Every structure is written in structure tokens, then in C-alpha cells.
A and B are shown apart, each in its own frame.
Chain A
Amino acid sequence: MNSTEELVARVRHGDEEAFRLIFDRYARPLISFVYDMVGSRELAEDLTQETFVRAYKSLGALRDETKLSTWLFGIAKNVARESLRTRARESRNVHVDDEAEVFELCDGQRGPAGQLLDKELNGVIQSALLRLDEDKRLVFTLKVFQQRSYEEIAEITGFSIGKLKTDLHRARAEMRRRLGPYLGGEQ
């Protein structure tokens, strides 16, 4: 197995296969993260591609190769935020569009009851996520879905530990309030 440092060094020497391995390793968590931020499948794919292209172009700026993952998430965060700003300018009410998309997802094929419940739950979680404000969604996604430590989240977002703790606590509370019925069912 290639270590991250080796892969970065190989890419810096022009090794395509090494960059492909980096892509294979990080594409899935990054696309999930971006999707949680923007709420659109196609847009998440495009933005993940943009993240890797930017990473490739500025790989020389990566000082600590052991933090490649954190660095990539930092780029993805910037790319997602830029996209959200652009969309916000284009449409004053992003949440309405996102909700429509969520319901569209929920209206998929009807399968067994369990699958339907899971699908519904997915839709509800995504809807609740998109209702969080941007900072809270960012911190919540990185902690709860990506299992990043507070220190890593602080590096990715540039927030202080105090701010991210506050945002995370409030995000959890909001999510809990919106997912109340489903949480009751879980217990």
C-alpha cells in the first residue's frame, strides 16, 4: 500500500497513476461531503472534480504531506462555498429548490417497507441538513458524517475550536428537533 507521502511525491514527479490512487482514495468521502453541503448530486460531482483539479494545480503548496486529506477537504469546502454563494446570488431562496430536490428523491421507486423507510429517512436527513446555516452544516457534516476530529475541522474550516463546538452543538439540536419522530422510532 502506498503511503500518502509517497503518493504526493510521485505526483510531483508527474506520475499519473499516483494521482489516480489519490483520487480513488478520497473521491468518495469528498463527494459525500460536497453533496451534504450543496444538496445536488450533479453539482456535487462537478464540484468534486473541480476540487481534484485545484488540488493537482496547487499541490506544490501542500507543505505537510501527511495532511493531504485535511487539505483536500479544505479545498472542497472552498469550492462548495463558492458554489453556494453563486447559487445564492442566482436564486434568493435556495432552500425551496433544495427541498424540491429532496422530495423528488423521496418519490423514487417503491420497494419493501424497510427500503422505503430508509429512503424516506435519507430524504428527511438531507432536508434537515440543508436547513442548517452554512457554518453549522459544514461543522456538522465534518464531525458526524466524516468523523473528523475538532482539530482537523478547525484546520479545514479555519474556525476556532470554541466556534466549532458551539456550531456543532446548535446543529445537533436543530437536527434533533427536525428528526424527532425518526429518533423516537429508533429508540
Chain B
Amino acid sequence: MKCEECLPLLEEFADGEVDRRTSELMGAHMAACAECAEAFDALSAEQEMYLRYDRELEVSPAMWHAVSERIAEAPAERVAKPVPLLTRLRGQLAIVLGALALRPALASSMALLLVGVAAGVLWFMQAPRPVRRETIARSTPVPDTKPPSGGVPNPGPLPDRVESVEGDVPRTATPHKNDAQLASASQSVKLMKASATPTRRPFNPGVAGDVLPSENHPVAQDDVLLSVQPSLLDDDVLAINTRLLDPEEKEVARHVEHAQLLLRSFRNARDTEGEGVINIAYEKSQSRKLLDQNISLQLEAEAAGNKTTARILNSLEPFLLDISNLRDEPSRDEVRSIKDRMQKKEIIASLQVY
């Protein structure tokens, strides 16, 4: 390879985005060419400087509270039903019909059964049906507040209708109402029932209806959150929240962030099929630096009794050690072995959580 071919590919090489063959050729060329090796070093120094970029951003617990409140208003069906209901029903119907098509005798029996069921349903629908008193009674005390998220809006002024259908009176036994009024009353009762019956939401800690003990004693947002989600009080969450507020942990946080970027860079290193090597010179040198820092930070965390930090640093150390001890151009299998363990241990995710 010549310098004219090597130099334009340096950035892709540093990004781990060139194929195995090109990577080998570039590695060999840079081993012999001072100019290209110098350009690569400059690029590595540049990358190192960017890794030191500290935005001084913190993810405060208040951010989650705000998100939590807003998603409490999200419609539940979008989360729970990735596949439309009609599509699923159509698929199930197709399976049933397909099965019937193969058995004519069964099909005729089922047809008779369906006719019977349909007749029963028609008879049931035409028979007088009592309106249950407790349903209405439950609906009555609902104040005219904004509707619960994902639920049916409050139907508005309804007391007159409620009074008129009070008691176990069949619908046909209200001679002063015409059919339109009956339909309206029936609709109102349905709406009220819907608004009074707690609808299942995925989670909505900010919705007062779930936990408020009394109108006269409004509960603070944090109290609501704690009432709904006592599991949030576990040690890890408390530790995370405390850590976010502790400036002394900032150095550890930065270290963990750098380690995370390093591991991500290592994971993205080109891993093509076939025999060959992968150039991870940059990751290796970074890993050595981070390893030293990791050891000292781990000792400090242990001395300070900070178990969460010590644990995360302890889980990171083997990966830093392995990457540092790799050869300059390790084989694909060697790199893959570390990548597999990274995936198995989900170390990048652990660092992100930290």
C-alpha cells in the first residue's frame, strides 16, 4: 500500500470501519511509514481530546419524575397492543374457518350451534333488563374534574338522569320517557360507569385518582410516587439518586463514561468473517490508561464503603485488563471472545445505568 491510498482511509481505520484486508495492509504500511503513522497518532490524540469533553450534565431524579408524569397521560393501548386487534381477530378467524373447511359434518354442527346462540342472544337483547342501582350510586359522587388519562371523558351534568332511573326498574317500566330519552339515559349510564370504573393503565404515578386519600389533603408529587411505587425505594435507586447529587463521584462518573465509550469502540471494531487480524491499537492504549485509573478508583470506593461504585468498577476491570493484554493485532477469535463476554455480562449497559 502507498501513502496516497493509506491517508484517505485513516479516519475510517481509526473508526474501525475498514475491512479486514485493508486493515492489514494499512497496519503493515504504517509500521514502515513514519508520515502515515504520525497522521494516525494525530488522529488518536484528537479522539482522546474529544473524550475529555465534559458537558457537566447530570440526569437529575426530577427528570424521571417529569417523564413519569407525562407518560401517565399516554394512551395505554399504544403500548400494550403492537398488533392491531382486527388483524389478530382476522388471523384467528381464518384459522377456525380453515379447520372447518376440512370437516363438513363438524361445520354443519357448528352452523346449527351458531344459529342457536344467535337466537339466544336476540331473545336476551329483547328481554327487559334491570339497571343496577349500585352502578349508578357509584357514579354519582364523581366530581366534575378533568377525565382520567386513557379513560372516557366525564359526561357532564347528569344528576337528573341518575335520579330518573334510580332503583331496580326495568327500562320498559319508565312510561314518561320516549325511546330517544331511553337511549340517552342508557348511554349516560354507560359513560358514567366507564368514568367510575378504574381503567387499567400501564402506570401513572402522577394521576391523583390512584392514590389521593382526600380532596382536602392534596398529596405532593413525590408522595404520590412513593405511594404508588414503593419498590423505587430500593437500595440501588437510592444509591443512584444520591450519587447524582454527590460531586465527589463526578470523577468516577467520567471514568465510567470513558470506559463505556472505549468498550463501545472495541465492540464496533471490524469483525469480518475469515482468518485475519483486527487493529485495535487505539483501544488497547486507552484501555491501559483507564485500567490504572480504574484500580485506584476502585480502591478509593472500597475504602469509602461505596459498594455500588466498587462493584461496577470491579466488573469493568477484567475487560480493561483483557483489552490491554491483547496483542497489537489480535486474531478475530481473540477479539470475538472478549466481545461475547461483554455481551453476556452486558457490561456496556451496566456502565450506562451507572
Contact = CB atoms under 8 A, between A and B. Distances in A.
B342 interface: no
A3 to B, nearest CB: 7
Contacts of A70: none
B123 interface: no
Interface string B69-85: 01100111011111000
Interface residues of B, number: 56
Majority DSSP secondary structure for residues of B touching A: helix
Interface stretch (A44-52, A81-89, A90-98): A44-52
Interface string A1-40: 1011000000111111101110111111101100110000
B80 A165 contact: no
Contacts of A53: 67, 70-71, 74
B248 to A, nearest CB: 15
Interface in A144-165: 144-150, 165
A28 B78 contact: no
A168 B75 CA distance: 39
A125 B50 contact: yes
A186 interface: yes
Given A23-B64, A48-B63, A147-B264, A14 B352 contact: no
Contact of A35 (B16, B55, B79, B265): B55
Given A143-B15, A144-B50, A15 B203 contact: yes
Contacts of A58: 78
Contacts of B81: 60
A114 to B, nearest CB: 11
A113 interface: no
Given A44-B57, A125-B50, A172-B11, A60 B82 contact: yes
Nearest to A62: B82
B55 A32 contact: yes
A187 B45 CA distance: 7
A50 B189 CA distance: 37
A25 B353 contact: yes
Contact of B49 (A12, A20, A121): A121
Contacts of B268: 147-149
A132 interface: no
Majority DSSP secondary structure for residues of A touching B: helix
B288 interface: no
A12 B49 CA distance: 41
B352 A16 contact: no
A103 interface: no
A180 to B, nearest CB: 11
B5 interface: no
Given A41-B57, A144-B50, A12 B64 contact: no
A183 B200 CA distance: 57
A56 B11 contact: no
Contact of A49 (B63, B82, B257): B63
A58 B81 CA distance: 10
Contacts of B50: 125, 144-145
A186 B79 contact: no
B53 A122 contact: yes
A154 to B, nearest CB: 12
B291 to A, nearest CB: 19
Nearest to B256: A28
Contacts of B346: 1, 3
A56 B64 contact: no
11 contacts: A13-B202, A14-B200, A16-B68, A16-B229, A25-B353, A28-B352, A41-B57, A60-B78, A145-B53, A148-B264, A182-B49
